[in-house]
């Protein structure tokens, strides 16, 4: 969806997911290949494909019937995936699971629903199992998107507070620079649309040109600049993303 709305090529989504997997590769490697995985809010199945290729059994749970259908179609060749159409705030499937993954789910839940959900997860983990969250974030406090698209963007420190309220004493956090790469492309497309109205608003050619221009200078545009901006306390692009890992033994 992110790539489509900004006319970025399909490679942008592929690149983002590949970089994201690399960011938490050691977390994923800690899960046994014989393990069971629960993907809550699995969407169209981007991460389901990763899990299905790594582990013995995967359950994807998603409220949107359209997303479930898209995920089924995408993963129709995989025999180790089960789909559940339902709200994660209702009854969850029984464990135990070696990994429970929440990919951009809590940003659609209020604080109370988030902590309530998190409290229910450790009882569904194996000994040594883990919970991984992948959430869009802001640098400080929180930002609420209203209107047709509604979401709550929290800072990593706000998420840590919610983790403590849910009973987790410790958590690990990593910046998601793969997501940052795609959002950088989106931001440049938005700037072009705003400041160059004489150019077509919808243009796959210009979107691809923007993306491949960034890819050709990736060491600077995707690696160096985000880190320099972070050191300087500059938030650009405004929206970031982080991975969080909670362990069942950290309660």
| Residue at 230 is within a domain | no
Burial letters 129-139, b for 16+ CB under 10 A, else e: bbbbbbbbbbb
DSSP 74-121: HTTT-SSEEEEES-TTSPPPP--EEEEEEES-GGGS-HHHHHHHHHHS
Mean pLDDT by 10 residues, the chain (251 residues): 83 92 96 96 91 96 91 90 92 92 94 95 93 94 80 94 90 92 89 90 92 90 82 79 82 48
pLDDT score, position 248: 62
CA distances from 72 to 66, 67, 95, 104, 185 (A): 10, 9, 22, 19, 29
| Residue at 149 is within a domain | yes
Domain count of the chain? 1
Q: Which residues pair with 130 in a beta bridge?
A: 99, 247
State both tokens at 69.
């259908």
pLDDT score, position 247: 78
Q: Of all helices (H) and strands (E), which one includes residue 38?
A: strand 36-40
| Residue at 161 is within a domain | yes
| Residue at 170 is within a domain | yes
Do the Cβ atoms of 88 and 40 come closer than 8 Å? yes
Query: Model's pTM, two decimal places?
Result: 0.90
The residues, ordered by sequence, that sit 6+ positions from 236 with a Cβ below 8 Å of its Cβ are 187, 229
pLDDT score, position 101: 98
CATH of the domain at 168: 3.40.50.150
pLDDT score, position 29: 96
pLDDT score, position 230: 78
| Residue at 42 is within a domain | yes
pLDDT score, position 250: 52
| Residue at 45 is within a domain | yes
Q: What are phi and psi of 37, to 5 degrees?
A: -125, 140
Q: What is the span of the domain harbouring residue 97?
A: 15-177+240-250
Helix (H, G, I), strand (E, B) or coil at 243: strand
| Residue at 117 is within a domain | yes
Termini Cα distance of the chain: 36
| Residue at 188 is within a domain | no
């Amino acid at each position: 969806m992110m790539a489509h709305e900004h006319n970025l090529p399909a490679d942008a989504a592929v690149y983002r997911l590949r970089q994201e997997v690399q960011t938490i590769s050691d977390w994923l490697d800690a899960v046994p290949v014989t393990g069971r995985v629960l993907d809550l809010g699995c969407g169209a199945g981007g991460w389901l494909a990763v899990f299905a290729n790594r582990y013995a059994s995967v359950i994807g749970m998603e409220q949107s019937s359209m997303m479930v259908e898209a995920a089924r179609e995408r993963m129709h060749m995989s025999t180790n995936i089960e789909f559940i159409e339902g709200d994660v705030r209702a009854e969850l499937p029984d464990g135990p699971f070696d990994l429970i993954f929440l990919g951009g789910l809590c940003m659609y839940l209020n604080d109370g629903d988030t902590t309530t959900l998190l409290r229910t997860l450790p009882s569904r983990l194996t000994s040594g199992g883990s919970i991984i969250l992948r959430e869009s974030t802001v640098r400080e406090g929180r930002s609420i998107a209203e209107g047709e698209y509604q979401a709550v963007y929290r800072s990593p420190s706000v998420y840590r507070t919610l983790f403590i309220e849910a009973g987790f004493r410790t958590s690990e956090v990593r910046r998601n620079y793969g997501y940052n790469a795609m959002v950088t492309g989106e931001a440049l497309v938005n700037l072009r649309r705003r400041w160059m109205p004489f150019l077509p608003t919808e243009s796959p050619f210009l979107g691809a040109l923007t993306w491949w221009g960034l890819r050709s200078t990736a060491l600077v545009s995707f690696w160096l600049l985000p880190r320099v901006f972070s050191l300087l306390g500059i938030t650009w692009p405004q929206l970031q993303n982080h991975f969080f890992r909670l362990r069942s033994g950290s309660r």
